[in-house]
């Protein structure tokens, strides 16, 4: 029996395994995810010094929000959600900022900041096509690397002092969890790697129990069914409630978190699309926007419930690739099980009673994973050495400020806290450097008009000027002109007949043709170059003709001797262009064409 792969899933999203198998898959993922899903709220509650009642509520709220939001992502409501099996997960890299928010301002400050984080993701999702040059893998990867060191700074809070009588047992429990998780992740099979964190946490907890530092009273006292804890309340706006300084101090960090979460969701959604399809198809960025919007709504719910920020489960893609199951039915079961466990305080207490030192051992592995994942995000998505250099420089800028390597003047409490945060300084530096590279690149030329085949002569004139400024010869001009014509014909199919039919030029026909054109659809063409290679970016209103990448790929796979008329433009475009990338967003299509001499 062959192991399912990303190119050969047994069950796509629309296909359902047998009910018993679906229940088994859903229960397996839920059990794997539950322990690590609750690491974030448990660590935040314990490290911030809150009482057990707050810890119990955080566990309950985290499971409930995870369940509801998973169902929302799987079902898809309008523009919210993806219609894919994308379980939601707590954002472990937000732990240090959540601890600071609860410690300095209380639960209401954390709630308000998570709400702001959710609003930020909704804005990014809506304007993703405009922010694609800022919300980049370079910025996201850099911030992930910086987050690894900020997360590592939490670990000492979970371990006792050396003078404490339980110090030896606590450190051995942490080392056991660390060693077991690392060993299983490094040498285990695909299935064992999924279970690695759970097995490591169980092993660490067993060692802690052996040294008498595991307290099971909370499990014994918890009810079997009910709503544990008490809602901490959202509170009134921060400035009025008296914790304005802590709110405004942490606001930039949570805004950066919204960017990082959006980039994480972007990557996970794209990876899941590829893992859950048998055929190789272009990425549908409308689904990516749906995943981002769903995550934004999830964080609005998380803020209202008083819990931590959420991301898409990092284990979702690995689970799909390992099991070959991407069925929505399994996603529904996962969401339902999260909700059911939330109302079983006895089960929730099992997770909330995991000792802090065991969590510390898990966070060591997680910190390392974040750094490696951030570096991989940069290296795999970027070939430009200058942008890779930005990632390295900004990581060390963030580290230098995080560890206080600079002596700073007295700039006030708010600004001092902002500057001392590696995520703020490193993240701002990354965005500034990326924008600097964008603005100092050879200037892009811009063409704008209505999206209509009639503007082709003006577009050709624009491309002629672009080629003249680059010093390119006549054959290159002709290739650019041919690419522009074929792309425009593909973007504006309603006007093709009016353009081709020269024998129907009466005034009545012209008026009818004008009546068919959609005055709301606009065309923007951005022309740039990298040495002798031209890049043309066609930005227009969204059409309903399908993805151009997929259509060209189908032509390459199923080439026919006698093409139909609608395929002529695609065939000619395939001949003239080096590559064609079609990104479909809600309301906007972006087609990027590279042309070589």
User: SS3 sequence, 504-545?
Assistant: CCCHHHHHHHHHHCCCCCEEEEEEEEECCEEEEEEEEECCCC
Q: What band does 435 get if pLDDT is binned at 50, 70 and 90?
A: confident
| Mean pLDDT along residues 87-106 | 86
User: 369 and 392 in contact (C-beta within 8 Å)?
Assistant: no
Q: What band does 546 get if pLDDT is binned at 50, 70 and 90?
A: low
Q: What are the boundaries of each domain within the chain?
A: 19-153+164-439, 445-498+517-595
User: 70 and 334 in contact (C-beta within 8 Å)?
Assistant: yes
For residue 305, count other CB atoms closer than 10 A to its CB. 21
Q: How much of the chain exceeds pLDDT 90, in percent?
A: 12
Residue 190 is predicted with a pLDDT of 73
Residue matched to tokens 């998570």: 114
Phi, then psi, of 588 in degrees rounded to 5: -145, 135
Residue matched to tokens 């709630």: 111
Residue 340 is predicted with a pLDDT of 92
The answer to which of 401-405, 483-487, 547-551, 592-596 has the lowest mean pLDDT is 547-551
Residue 502 is predicted with a pLDDT of 45
Residue 69 is predicted with a pLDDT of 94
Query: What do you get for the CA distance between the two ends of the chain, in Å?
Result: 48
CA 199 centroid distance within chain: 27
User: 439 and 432 in contact (C-beta within 8 Å)?
Assistant: no
Residue 411 is predicted with a pLDDT of 58
Residue 555 is predicted with a pLDDT of 44
Q: Which of 93, 68, 62, 94 is nearest to 81 (CA)?
A: 68
Q: Which CATH class is domain 445-498+517-595?
A: alpha beta
Q: Does the structure show a pLDDT above 90 at 380?
A: no
What is the C-alpha separation between 94 and 430, in angstroms, rounded? Answer: 19
What is the C-alpha separation between 126 and 157, in angstroms, rounded? Answer: 39
Q: Does the structure show a pLDDT above 60 at 310?
A: yes
Q: Does the structure show a pLDDT above 60 at 566?
A: no
User: 522 and 450 in contact (C-beta within 8 Å)?
Assistant: yes
Residue 417 is predicted with a pLDDT of 61
pTM across the whole model = 0.73
Q: Which one-letter DSSP state was computed for residue 133? A: T
Residue matched to tokens 């001009």: 477
Q: Does the structure show a pLDDT above 50 at 240?
A: no
Q: What band does 511 get if pLDDT is binned at 50, 70 and 90?
A: very low
What does the angle CA 95 – CA 96 – CA 99 come to, to the nearest 5 degrees?
85
Hey, which residues does 129 pair with through a beta bridge?
A: none
Q: Does the structure show a pLDDT above 60 at 542?
A: no
Phi, then psi, of 86 in degrees rounded to 5: -130, 85
What is the C-alpha separation between 106 and 193, in angstroms, rounded? Answer: 37
């Amino acid at each position: 029996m062959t192991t399912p792969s990303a190119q050969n899933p047994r069950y796509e999203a629309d296909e359902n395994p047998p009910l018993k198998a679906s229940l088994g898959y859903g229960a397996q993922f839920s059990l794997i995810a539950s322990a690590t899903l609750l690491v974030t709220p448990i660590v935040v509650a314990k490290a911030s010094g809150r009482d057990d009642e707050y810890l119990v509520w955080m566990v309950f709220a985290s499971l409930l929000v995870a369940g509801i939001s998973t169902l929302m992502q799987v079902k898809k409501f309008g523009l919210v959600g993806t219609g894919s099996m994308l379980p939601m997960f707590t954002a472990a890299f937000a732990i240090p900022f959540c601890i600071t928010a609860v410690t300095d301002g209380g639960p209401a400050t954390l709630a308000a900041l998570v709400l702001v984080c959710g609003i930020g993701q909704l804005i990014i999702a809506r304007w993703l096509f405009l922010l694609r040059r800022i919300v980049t893998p370079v910025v996201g990867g850099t911030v992930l690397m910086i987050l690894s060191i900020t997360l590592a700074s939490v670990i000492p809070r979970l371990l006792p002092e050396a003078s404490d009588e339980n110090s030896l047992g606590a450190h051995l429990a942490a080392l056991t969890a660390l060693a077991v998780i690392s060993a299983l992740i490094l040498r285990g099979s695909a299935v064992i790697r999924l279970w690695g964190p759970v097995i490591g946490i169980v092993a660490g907890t067993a060692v802690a129990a052996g040294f008498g530092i595991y307290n099971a009273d909370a499990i014994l006292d918890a009810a079997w069914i009910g709503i544990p804890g008490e809602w901490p309340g959202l509170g009134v706006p921060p400035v009025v409630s008296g914790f304005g300084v802590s709110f405004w101090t942490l606001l930039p960090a949570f805004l950066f978190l919204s960017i990082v979460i959006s980039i994480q969701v972007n990557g996970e959604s794209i990876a899941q699309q590829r893992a859950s399809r048998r055929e190789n198809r272009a990425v549908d960025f409308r689904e990516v926007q749906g995943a981002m919007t769903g995550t934004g709504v999830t964080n609005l719910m998380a803020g209202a419930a008083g819990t931590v920020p959420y991301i898409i489960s990092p284990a979702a893609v690995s689970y799909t690739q390992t099991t070959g199951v991407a069925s929505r039915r399994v996603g529904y079961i996962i969401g339902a099980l999260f909700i059911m466990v939330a109302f079983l305080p006895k089960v929730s207490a099992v997770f909330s009673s995991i000792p802090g030192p065991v969590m510390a051992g898990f966070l060591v592995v997680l910190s390392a994973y974040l750094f490696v994942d951030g570096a991989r995000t940069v290296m795999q998505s970027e070939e430009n050495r200058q942008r890779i250099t930005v990632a390295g420089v900004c990581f060390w800028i963030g580290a230098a400020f995080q560890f206080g390597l600079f002596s700073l003047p007295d700039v006030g409490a708010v600004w001092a806290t902002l500057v001392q945060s590696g995520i703020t300084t490193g993240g701002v530096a990354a965005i500034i450097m990326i924008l600097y590279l964008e603005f100092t690149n050879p200037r892009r030329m811009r063409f704008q008009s209505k999206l209509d085949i009639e503007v082709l002569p003006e577009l050709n004139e624009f491309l002629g000027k672009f080629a003249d400024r680059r010093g390119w010869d006549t054959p290159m001009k002709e290739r650019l002109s041919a690419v522009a014509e074929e792309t425009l014909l593909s973007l504006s199919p309603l006007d093709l007949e009016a353009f081709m039919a020269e024998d129907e030029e009466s005034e009545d026909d012209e008026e009818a043709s004008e009546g068919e054109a959609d005055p709301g659809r606009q065309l923007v063409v951005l022309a740039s170059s990298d040495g002798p290679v031209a890049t043309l970016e066609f930005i227009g209103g969204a059409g309903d003709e399908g993805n151009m990448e997929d259509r060209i790929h189908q032509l390459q796979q199923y080439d026919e001797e006698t093409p139909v008329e609608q395929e002529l433009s695609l065939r000619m475009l395939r001949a003239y262009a080096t590559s064609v990338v079609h990104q479909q967003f809600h309301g906007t299509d972006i087609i990027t064409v590279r042309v070589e001499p």
